[in-house]
Structure 1
Amino acid sequence: MKTTLFLGLVTLTITQSMNLILNFCSKKSFYDREKNSPFECGFDPKNLARLPFSLQFFLVALIFVIFDVELVLLLPTISVIKICNLLSFSFTLNMFLIILILGLFHEQNQGSLNWVN
């Protein structure tokens, strides 16, 4: 048992040492500034990092996430329809949809859904 453990440990050590040596030997020796700079589609990384961010875009994205999570909570109710009482199921589903629609109307009245003010 100890011999097998020792042999496995030695094999692991040799393998990892060879891996480190080959890793250092295979690296390219030149430094390229363009390849080491971060790439973001549509942005020049050499200009200012602080670009103006549209607050309206942030609000629409936040509203989308909130309503998307509510719809994800709504989807599992379809599988429960067979085991629930139809009256309680329809009441719960209607209340959930009413709250969802009231939230949408509230956001419309606040002007959060208008992309151009």
Structure 2
Amino acid sequence: MMKIILSMSMTAIITLVLMITCSIISKKTIMDREKMSPFECGFDPKSSARLPFSLQFFLIAILFLIFDIEIAMILPMIITMKMSNIMSWAMTVTIFILVLIIGLYYEWKNGMLEWTF
């Protein structure tokens, strides 16, 4: 028990020392208008460099990643078909694909798949 308390206290001390050292050594930056503006060959920028991010694009990207991962999960199911009971394998695949279809239907009905500007 003493070893655990000693190792936890040493970890906390080392962590605090590193955090304090990093905050002392770190470079302090003073934010002003010139340093925060984008560089355009010495001229004033014509428009804002910070364009608003489309939330709809983010949702489409997340949906793509989700369905991409699901395809990666479906592909090994084909290989495991030979090694498993066909009834349990068919039920697993059916439930998995049914959940995917219900999720896609839900997203479609809520208008998450429509690209609007």
TM-score normalized by structure 1? 0.58
Farther off after superposition, 45-54 or 93-102: 45-54
The residue identity in structure 2 corresponding to 1:107 is E
Q: Structure 2: which 5+ runs fail to align? A: 1-37
2:87 corresponds to: 87
Runs of 4+ in 1 over 2 A off after TM superposition: 44-49
CA deviation profile, 1:5-33 (whole Å, cap 9, x unmatched)? xxxxxxxxxxxxxxxxxxxxxxxxxxxxx
Deviations along 1:5-64, whole A, 9 cap, x unmatched? xxxxxxxxxxxxxxxxxxxxxxxxxxxxxxxxxxxxxxx973543111111111111111
Counterpart CA distance in 2 for 1:91 and 1:45 is 59
In structure 1, the residue matched to 2:101 is 101
Give the distance between the partners of 1:70 and 1:84, measured in 2 at CA. Answer: 20
- Partners of 1:45 and 1:110 in 2: CA distance: 42
* Distance in 2 separating the partners of 1:70 and 1:49: 36
Q: Which runs of 5+ in 1 are unaligned?
A: 1-43
Letter of the 1:73 counterpart:
M
> Aligned equivalents of 1:80 and 1:45: distance in 2?
56
CA deviation map 1:48-83 (0-9, x unaligned): 431111111111111111111111111111110101
- The amino acid of 1:114's aligned partner reads E
Distance 1:87 1:62 in 2: 33
SS at structure 2 position matched to 1:62 = helix
In structure 2, the partner of 1:32 is none
TM-score, scaled relative to structure 2: 0.58
Q: What is the letter of the counterpart of residue 50 of structure 1? A: R
